[in-house]
């Protein structure tokens, strides 16, 4: 499968390396980026061509499928261009930053008549999350009542502003919980403790997202992007007859100098390295079989509706309803 990649920033570079190394059945043939030098550097890793614009990359005759790894606000136009060209597209999260753009993507994809879009929600490919899903789907803890989640990053860049904990970070829990519980959310609220003094004064950090599902389960998500000590993802679901907890990644337990300890992951590339590999491998495999299996444009759209509601909830302090239209039959 000959792939073109838009956006050679950090995650784009990682995807180029994966698609040219770990993943079988794929080859990166073209890349584009607004930073031509960076595009050239990443292209050289894969022996790919640099194409001068995203538009040209999408319509390039050699490119059979596209990876969008650019900045979130430009995802919508690039994904729509791929649909117009009839090319499968893997788009990094978030699918769009504005829910209205997500609707345009849903309409275009349905008009095309076949699923072309997959969204990069890599948690669905993590072994621990997959095991939790299996426990839930086989009735291992009965009907889920609550979930308690933690999403901590060691630090954030200065450009990271107070909407981002929902739009860029909690979006992973929003998708993972929709997938694990198999239902949509009805309402969101965001409450905040005092902010950490250890980082930027402009940033509201941490934030606590409170979600209610359509059937009345309750979820709390602590998002703390300057926790200083590591990259820490936790999730526990409480059901009527038991609980299931996301395992920490395996790490050796060291006993020394009067303590027993194990290391905490330091960043998401290493915490989810295997999940990223599996995600891209399964996407490439699905292109060959022609059967879309991963998170769809509907999943990307539904997550954005929730993050938009969460941003409003933090700004207003209100409980904000999640206004999601009926899921089109096309996505069922």
Give the interface with ligand ISE as residue ranges (CB under 6 A): 153, 168-169, 172, 225, 268
Sign of CA dihedral 291, 323, 99, 221: negative
- Quote the least distance from Cβ 56 to ligand ISE, whole Å: 27
User: Can you point out the beta strands (E) in the chain?
Assistant: 2-6, 27-32, 49-50, 65-68, 89-92, 117-120, 144-152, 185-191, 207-213, 218-224, 232-239, 243-245, 254-256, 259-261, 320-321
State which residue, 156 or 296, has the beta carbon closest to ligand ISE: 156
Distance of CA 135 to the CA centre of its chain: 22
Task: Report residue 77 as tokens.
Answer: 């136009």
- Quote the least distance from Cβ 277 to ligand ISE, whole Å: 15
State which residue, 8 or 169, has the beta carbon closest to ligand ISE: 169
State which residue, 3 or 69, has the beta carbon closest to ligand ISE: 69
Task: Report residue 119 as tokens.
Answer: 């969204």
State which residue, 207 or 217, has the beta carbon closest to ligand ISE: 207
- Quote the least distance from Cβ 160 to ligand ISE, whole Å: 7
State which residue, 115 or 271, has the beta carbon closest to ligand ISE: 271
Q: Comparing C-alpha atoms, which of 101, 126, 116, 89 is closest to residue 248?
A: 126
Which residue of this chain has its Cβ atom nearest to ligand ISE in the complex? 169
Q: Comparing C-alpha atoms, which of 148, 117, 125 is closest to residue 218?
A: 148
Q: No. of H helices and E strands in the chain?
A: 11, 15
- Quote the least distance from Cβ 267 to ligand ISE, whole Å: 9
Whole-angstrom distance, CA of residue 1 vs CA of residue 287: 8
- Quote the least distance from Cβ 318 to ligand ISE, whole Å: 25
């Amino acid at each position: 499968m000959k792939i073109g990649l838009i956006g050679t920033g950090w995650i784009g570079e990682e995807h180029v390396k994966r698609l040219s190394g770990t993943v079988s059945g794929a080859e990166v043939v073209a890349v584009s980026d607004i930073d031509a030098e960076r595009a050239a550097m990443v292209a050289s890793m894969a022996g790919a061509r640099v194409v001068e614009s995203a538009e040209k990359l999408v319509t390039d005759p050699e490119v059979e499928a596209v990876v969008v790894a650019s900045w979130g606000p430009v995802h919508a136009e690039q994904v729509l261009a791929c649909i117009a060209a009839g090319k499968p597209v893997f788009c990094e999260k978030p699918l769009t930053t504005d829910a209205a753009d997500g609707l345009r993507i849903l309409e275009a994809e349905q008009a095309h008549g076949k699923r072309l879009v997959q969204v990069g929600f890599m948690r669905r490919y993590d072994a621990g999350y997959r095991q939790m899903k299996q426990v839930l789907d086989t009735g291992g803890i009965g009907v889920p009542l609550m979930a308690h989640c933690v999403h901590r990053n060691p630090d954030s860049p200065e450009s990271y502003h107070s909407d981002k904990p929902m739009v860029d970070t909690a979006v992973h829990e929003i998708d993972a919980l929709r997938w694990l519980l198999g239902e949509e959310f009805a309402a969101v609220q965001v409450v905040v403790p005092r902010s950490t003094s250890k980082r930027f004064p402009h940033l509201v950090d941490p934030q606590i997202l409170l979600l209610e599902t359509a059937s009345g389960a309750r979820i709390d998500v602590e998002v703390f992007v300057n926790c200083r000590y590591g990259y820490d993802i936790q999730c526990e679901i409480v059901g009527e007859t038991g609980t299931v907890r996301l395992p920490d990644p395996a790490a050796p337990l060291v006993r020394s100098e009067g303590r027993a300890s194990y290391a905490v992951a330091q960043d998401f590339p290493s915490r989810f390295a295997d999940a990223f590999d599996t995600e891209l491998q399964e996407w490439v495999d699905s292109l060959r079989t022609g059967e879309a299996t991963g998170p769809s444009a509907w999943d990307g759209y539904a997550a954005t509706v929730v993050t938009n509601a969460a941003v409003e909830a933090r700004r207003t302090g209100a409980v904000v309803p999640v206004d999601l239209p009926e899921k089109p039959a096309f996505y069922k």
